[in-house]
Amino acid sequence: MAEIGKDIEKSAALLASGELVAIPTETVYGLAGNALDEKAVVQIFKSKNRPRFDPLIVHVAGIDQVYNYVESIPEELKALAEAFWPGPLTLLLTKKSIIPDLVTSGLGKVGVRVPNHALTLSLLERLDFPLAAPSANPFGYISPTSASHVQDHLGDKLAYILDGGHCEVGLESTIVGMEEGQVIIYRLGGISVSAIEEIVGKVLILPQSSSNPQSPGMLKSHYAPRKRMILGDLDELMQQHQSEKGDFAILSFKRSFSDVPASNQVALSSSGDFDEAARNLFSAMRRLDETDTSLILAEELPEIHLGKAINDRLRRAAAK
């Protein structure tokens, strides 16, 4: 199993030697390797069992470093970077040739972001290369929001886990780019649509694709527990599955159910707080996936604030 600790210098040395290190961010833990080292990038894909057509996000310490790896940053996207970096925002930009095609799955654009986590920013500042870092979990499974989550599933496939505690946001970054002068959201995430539109005006939101995604995290079925998940009205779902009473778990926004064992239900936020719900989503899905039930019944949140991004993850978790 991987060593877990807070040693930034050790992490930097391992990454410089081509090893993989799990890094904490405000969104989820990433499986990081030198983005300019194709052997390290290949190892990322292999360790996650991630298809090569699904591109990776590149992490840097600040906006000044971004210019080393992309041709330019349109003014609208630069305004978003200035507003939200460090933070859960990824910009999809035309890459320079220094970024291997393997990182972008052969596409001409690369996703770049500055993570908002003190340990990882300190690590990035020590490196003379960017880090490719998709979520540190087996491909398609629930994203990790703690060092122990990484250890549970990938501990035998990486050298070190940099322990930064529990992720504060808990949802992957919002991916934003531009096409023909139009600002586009490719993936909903930790920054709400309304917050982005306050900076750049009306945006276009793309639906996720089932194959050949244009940016990371666009696959239809993703973030999924091993158990079957059904999404809908919880009261109706519970009635439909009465014959399976005791064999289903409940994932709700803020409700609790007296006729369901406490160990088999999770409310994302009893107070109805969207930030808290986002922060708890993946750990709640993991907890219910580990129960003795065979089915998870879940409900969508109101389509406001981070509710849109949470619902996106829930729909993809239930897609298969």
Find out whether 97 is annotated in a ligand binding site. no
What is the spatial distance between Cα 202 and Cα 76, in angstroms, rounded to a whole number? 12
Find out whether 173 is annotated in a ligand binding site. yes
* C-alpha R_g of the chain: 19
Question: Nearest to residue 297, comparing CAs of 234, 246, 240, 242?
Answer: 234
Question: Nearest to residue 275, comparing CAs of 115, 158, 186, 167?
Answer: 167
Find out whether 143 is annotated in a ligand binding site. yes
Sign of the alpha-carbon torsion through 36, 177, 305, 228: negative
Helix 193-200 to helix 75-84 angle, to the nearest 10 degrees? Answer: 130
Using CA atoms, how far residue 143 sits from 139, 180, 187, 289, in Å, is 9, 33, 15, 13
Find out whether 141 is annotated in a ligand binding site. no
Find out whether 256 is annotated in a ligand binding site. no
Find out whether 223 is annotated in a ligand binding site. yes
Find out whether 226 is annotated in a ligand binding site. no
Find out whether 27 is annotated in a ligand binding site. yes
Q: Where do we find the tokens 């719900």?
A: 277
Find out whether 283 is annotated in a ligand binding site. no
Tokens of 112: 């770049």
Give alpha helix (H) positions in 192-269: 193-200, 234-240
Tokens of 95: 């890459």
Find out whether 126 is annotated in a ligand binding site. no
Pairing state between β 174-179 and 30-34? unpaired
What is the spatial distance between Cα 298 and Cα 150, in angstroms, rounded to a whole number? 24
Known binding site for L-threonine: residues? Answer: 27, 113, 133, 173
Report the binding-site residues for ATP.
50, 59, 135, 143, 187, 223
Residues of the binding site: 27, 50, 59, 113, 133, 135, 143, 173, 187, 223
